[in-house]
């Protein structure tokens, strides 16, 4: 029988930018790495519905409410694509959700901050989705096929989300003094956590080595963070918002902005369960999951019945 050197085939595909697909052989560590990252990404999308959901009933107009509802529904859909992509790696959704509830799986730091005013909905769309897009555009070229294809779809929707947020901020900045103050206050509270979304500096990022080697990550945490800063500073200037960083300065040589130091203690606290809203986010998710059990049972009873019919 012909001997196939699976590792060699895998490495050649990575080298030649050929996607790895679900049924292809892959090293265990590659599989584990992807399950961790894709499931954390999925959890982020779903937990991210909470800070925005908080404002559905208080949106300032019917138009704003409809757009917000559509956006939140999109985030739920992104979660579904991503859970499905993770499932192609041989793990069930129940197990992934259990890891989230047990605190074994992380989700993005950003969703552990409260959404205090309507301007926060603008800041989330503009800054949070804006940061997510920079990261996800890069992930469209990730080496695992199902993840890469999910990213293509997600990015299309995220750019609409980013514009929705920017429109809210621009409108408020063109409004009364109180509205401008509210927009600036939201900017002040969301800027730094948005920068943390890109993860620790490259030199402190334990997963980057393998992620780059396997082309899961196409650009490093710091490279993507810098891209986000450079494009966002200009957008802030256009509508008259100030970036809350006294050390932010254009660097002519680098052709990009230098910025102040990120509070990594705060980041560590938040991702380890001690942010302002971690407990609330998790207890809401557990409650919704438990209350939705009958729906899952009904759906699987129906699909089991269909399977039975087909096999008869």
Q: Does 37 bind ligand BYC (CB under 6 A)?
A: yes
Binder of ligand BYC out of 99, 143, 221, 278 (CB under 6 A): 221
Smaller CB distance to ligand BYC: residue 240 or 276?
Answer: 276
- Least distance CB 198 / ligand BYC (angstroms): 6
Q: Does 208 bind ligand BYC (CB under 6 A)?
A: yes
Closest listed residue to residue 67, CA positions, set 169, 155, 162, 164: 164
Q: Does 74 bind ligand BYC (CB under 6 A)?
A: no
Binder of ligand BYC out of 85, 123, 132, 172 (CB under 6 A): 132
Smaller CB distance to ligand BYC: residue 185 or 266?
Answer: 266
Q: How far is 151 from 133, CA to CA, in rounded Å?
A: 10
Q: Which residues contact 249 (CB under 8 A, 6 or more apart)?
A: 257, 258
Q: Does 281 bind ligand BYC (CB under 6 A)?
A: no
Q: Which residues contact 135 (CB under 8 A, 6 or more apart)?
A: 197, 198, 224
- For ligand BYC, the binding residues in 44-73 under the rule CB under 6 A are 44-45, 48
Smaller CB distance to ligand BYC: residue 9 or 148?
Answer: 148
Q: How many residues bind ligand BYC (CB under 6 A)?
A: 28
Residue 33: count other Cβ atoms within 10 Å of its Cβ.
20
Closest listed residue to residue 198, CA positions, set 117, 136, 260: 136
Q: Does 129 bind ligand BYC (CB under 6 A)?
A: yes
Closest listed residue to residue 24, CA positions, set 16, 33, 15, 14: 14
- Least distance CB 148 / ligand BYC (angstroms): 12
Alpha helical stretches, state H, the chain: 6-15, 28-47, 49-53, 62-87, 93-101, 118-123, 129-139, 145-173, 177-196, 208-213, 221-239, 264-269, 278-291, 293-311
Cα angle: 212, vertex 202, 37; to 5 degrees = 55
- Least distance CB 46 / ligand BYC (angstroms): 8
Residue 43: count other Cβ atoms within 10 Å of its Cβ.
23
- Least distance CB 57 / ligand BYC (angstroms): 18
Q: Does 135 bind ligand BYC (CB under 6 A)?
A: yes
- Least distance CB 24 / ligand BYC (angstroms): 22
Smaller CB distance to ligand BYC: residue 26 or 33?
Answer: 33
Q: Does 188 bind ligand BYC (CB under 6 A)?
A: no
- Least distance CB 291 / ligand BYC (angstroms): 21
CB 17 within 8 A of CB 214: no
Q: Which residues bind ligand BYC (CB under 6 A)?
A: 36-37, 40-41, 44-45, 48, 75, 106, 108-109, 124, 128-129, 132, 135, 196-200, 205-208, 211, 221, 271
């Amino acid at each position: 029988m012909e001997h196939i050197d699976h590792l060699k085939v895998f490495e050649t595909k990575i080298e030649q930018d050929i996607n790895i697909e679900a049924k292809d052989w892959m090293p265990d560590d590659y599989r584990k790495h992807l399950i961790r990252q894709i499931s954390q990404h999925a959890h982020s999308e779903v937990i991210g519905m909470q800070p925005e959901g908080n404002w559905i009933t208080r949106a300032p107009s019917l138009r704003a409410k409809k757009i917000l509802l559509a956006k939140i529904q999109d985030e739920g859909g992104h979660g579904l694509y991503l859970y499905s992509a993770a499932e192609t790696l041989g793990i069930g959704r129940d197990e992934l959700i259990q890891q989230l509830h047990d605190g074994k799986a992380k989700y993005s730091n950003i969703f552990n901050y409260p959404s205090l005013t309507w301007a926060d909905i603008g800041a989330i769309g503009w800054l949070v989705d804006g940061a997510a897009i920079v990261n996800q555009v890069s992930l469209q070229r990730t080496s695992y096929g199902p993840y890469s294809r999910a990213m293509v779809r997600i990015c299309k929707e995220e750019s609409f989300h980013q514009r929705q947020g920017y429109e809210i901020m621009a409108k408020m900045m063109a409004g009364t003094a109180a509205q401008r103050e509210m927009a600036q206050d939201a900017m002040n509270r969301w800027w730094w956590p948005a920068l943390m979304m890109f993860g620790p500096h490259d030199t402190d990022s334990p997963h980057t080595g393998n992620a780059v080697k396997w082309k899961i990550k196409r650009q490093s945490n710091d490279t993507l963070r810098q891209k986000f800063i450079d494009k966002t500073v200009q957008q802030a200037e256009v509508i008259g918002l100030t970036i809350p960083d006294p050390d932010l300065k254009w660097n002519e040589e680098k052709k990009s902005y230098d910025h102040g130091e990120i509070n990594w203690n705060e980041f560590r606290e938040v991702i380890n369960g001690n942010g302002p809203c971690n407990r609330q986010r998790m207890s809401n998710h557990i409650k919704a999951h438990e209350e939705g059990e009958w729906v899952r049972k009904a759906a699987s009873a129906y699909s089991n019945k269909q399977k039975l019919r087909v096999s008869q």
